[in-house]
Amino acid sequence: MKFIVSTVLTGVLAFIVGLYFPWWGIAVSSLLVAVLVHQKSWRAFLAGFLGLLLCWGGLAYWIDMKNNGILSSKIAQVLPLGGNSFLLILVTGVVGGLVAGFAALTGSYIRSSK
């Protein structure tokens, strides 16, 4: 139950923080969730990773659908993705997930050191 709560809370808090702060605010929010919701370190990493993967991946997909994939296909042509906008959305989610996952891992280690 803690895992689901932590994953959802990480995604929702990252969405709210992303509205007002720079992109690295997601790391701070993920760290705070991991400090407040005590879990083992690998579960904290996975909760942070999945929360942000779903949040940023979902947002990137929603933006892609709103503009019929025009922008994402052009950006995917610039990057070595072969013009595949789905891969760009996946890479976006994975990058956000890694940032949040490592921040949550740090928060878990901070909590366990007390």
Which percentage of the chain shows pLDDT scores above 70? 99
At residue 7, the pLDDT reads: 96
What gap in Å lies between CA 47 and CA 45, rounded to an integer? 6
Tell me which residue range forms the domain holding 37: 2-113
Total count of domains within the chain: 1
Distances (CA, A) of 31 to 18, 25, 92: 15, 10, 20
Summary mean pLDDT of the chain? 93
* pLDDT tens by residue, 36-68: 999 999 999 999 999 999 999 999 999 999 999
| Confidence category of residue 69, pLDDT binned at 50, 70, 90 | confident
Percent of the chain with pLDDT over 90: 80
Q: How far apart are CA 20 and CA 45, in angstroms?
A: 24
Copy the structure tokens of residue 74. Answer: 């052009």
Does residue 112 carry a pLDDT above 90? no
